[in-house]
Amino acid sequence: MKHSILILGGTAEARKLAEKLVGDPRFATELSLAGRTRAPAEQPVPVRVGGFGGVEGLAAYIREKGISILIDATHPYAAQISRNAAEASRLADVPLIALRRSPWQRQAGDRWTQVGSVGEAVEALGSVPRTVFLTLGRQELLPFEAAPRHHYLIRSVDPVEPPLNIPHAVYLTSRGPFAEADEARLLEEHAIEAIVAKNSGGPSSYGKIAAARTFGIEVILVRRPDLPDVPSVETVEEMLAWLAHAPALPGSPLK
Ligand code: NAP
């Protein structure tokens, strides 16, 4: 008998983990995506897309599919699905383990302003017009319509449609990872004076943080939401080590 793993994904780590598990005879792995991007990255394992219908829906899915291990490898700002995973694992009585990247830590030379919400980030930009690089999700951009005095460079995976109701915005569609040298070039090219970002952690979007340090550019970082207190690891390697000792299933030849 194999373990049936459901990975709640949407992150580079979830994909890397799936790459490591594909073909492993001990596991049958499926990955779940929220369906936020139009053309999601190719995944190495079977994928299902879209919400489950809350906690009950996720718990029902786990039971129906005979999932024996639930892995929460979602983005650190996707707090709702993490809360649902914690509750559904309890309801369906399956072990849950989270894969959570640790946040970036401030280093000497960083000019960080940490705020509690996107609304606070808008306020932190101040009253003097600035040229601002926004690297938030498409769904989080509306609050910037309240500050039309700034010039914005807005980067997202999919186009922002409809565009924001502001006079000065340049849109860029691009998917990470983003190298520091490319980010530095972008910051220079657009004469960026401030960046608004999430503290996503991990290497793939750190380039802008490092480049901002080099140029002394302010980074307004939206703080992470509170996440449920569940067993967790920080890296794909730690997750593989945990899985190697996953509890054997009844009747399983796995020891
Ligand atoms: P969320 O607020 O935690 O989730 C909202 C709902 O979306 C969940 O209740 C669930 O619907 C569905 N959902 C989320 N992740 C799912 C998954 N992996 N598989 C199936 N359904 C999923 O998350 P969000 O709305 O996607 O995003 C919140 C924040 O996370 C934003 O700041 C966003 O930019 C950031 N983020 C998200 C992703 C991502 O892949 N989701 C990637 C990068 C960044 P049901 O209740 O119906 O099950």
Per-residue pLDDT at 39: 85
Q: Where are the alpha helices (DSSP H) in 204-245?
A: 207-215, 236-244
* Residue 133 Rama label (left phi>0; alpha psi -120 to 50; beta): beta
Structural contact between residues 170 and 190, judged by C-beta atoms closer than 8 angstroms:
yes
Per-residue pLDDT at 1: 77
Per-residue pLDDT at 120: 98
**Ligand 1 binding pocket includes 77 (Cβ within 6 Å):** yes
Q: How do residues 103-113 score in pLDDT, each as one tens digit?
A: 999 999 999 99
Per-residue pLDDT at 248: 62
Per-residue pLDDT at 40: 86
Give me ligand 1 centre to Cα 150, in Å.
29
Q: How do residues 115-152 score in pLDDT, each as one tens digit?
A: 999 999 999 999 999 999 999 998 899 999 999 999 99
Per-residue pLDDT at 71: 98
Read off φ and ψ for residue 150, nearest 5 degrees: -85, 155
Nearest CA owner, ligand 1 atom 45: 51
Does residue 226 sit in helix, strand or coil? Answer: coil
Q: Which of 55, 81, 100 to mutate to test the pocket of ligand 1 (most atoms within 8 A of CB)?
A: 81
**Ligand 1 binding pocket includes 52 (Cβ within 6 Å):** yes
Give me ligand 1 centre to Cα 66, in Å.
23
Give me ligand 1 centre to Cα 80, in Å.
7
CB atoms within 10 A of CB 5: 24
pLDDT mean values, one per 10 residues, the chain (255 residues): 94 95 94 92 94 98 97 97 98 97 96 98 98 95 98 96 97 96 98 98 96 98 97 96 78 41
Give me ligand 1 centre to Cα 51, in Å.
8
The rounded distance, in Å, linking the Cα atoms of 80 and 78 is: 6
CA angle at 223 for the pair 230 and 178, rounded to the nearest 5° = 95
Instruction: Measure Cα distances from 106 to 127, 132, 206 in Å.
Output: 26, 20, 12
The rounded distance, in Å, linking the Cα atoms of 11 and 221 is: 19
